[in-house]
Amino acid sequence: MNTKISKQQLVDVLNQWGDNQISTEQMQHWMLDNFEPDEFEIGAGEPQHTIEAMLIVMNEYEIAKELKCLVEQSQLAINFINTSEANFMSSRHAFIHSAFCD
């Protein structure tokens, strides 16, 4: 069975996390539970750059150590998911380099 993860579902989880409605641990568990490319169809019907952004966001949050995820930068992930194709690389760079602490 192929479960679908929509762009809106991912944005909703990130908004909940950014609004402190869910913890970083809960956000990461959602990513872990829903990021399995063989079992989940991520971003069906979205443009290819949006699907790629969703996959990058989910993967990065899935593998990051909990303490490295900056909740105050959750909007960077949302901006990246919502970016245009023309701004994909700059939005990706902002997310990768500013959404986590080193």
**Domain carrying residue 52:** 3-98
Q: What is the pLDDT of residue 20?
A: 96
Percent of the chain with pLDDT over 70: 97
| Residue in the structure block whose two tokens are 């079992």 | 39
* Other Cβ atoms closer than 10 A to 5: 19
pTM above 0.85, yes or no: yes
Residue 3 to residues 46, 62, 79: CA-CA distances in angstroms? 16, 18, 24
Each residue of 1-50: pLDDT tens digit?
458 999 999 999 999 999 999 999 999 999 998 887 677 889 999 999 99
Using DSSP, state whether 22 is helix, strand or coil. coil
The DSSP string of 42-89 is: ESTTS-HHHHHHHHHHHHHHHHS-GGGB-GGGHHHHHHHHT--STTHH
Give pLDDT tens digits for 41-90.
899 999 999 999 999 999 999 999 999 999 999 999 999 999 999 999 99
* Residue 2 pLDDT: 57
Per the structure, the count of domains in the chain is 1
100 and 59 in contact (C-beta within 8 Å)? no
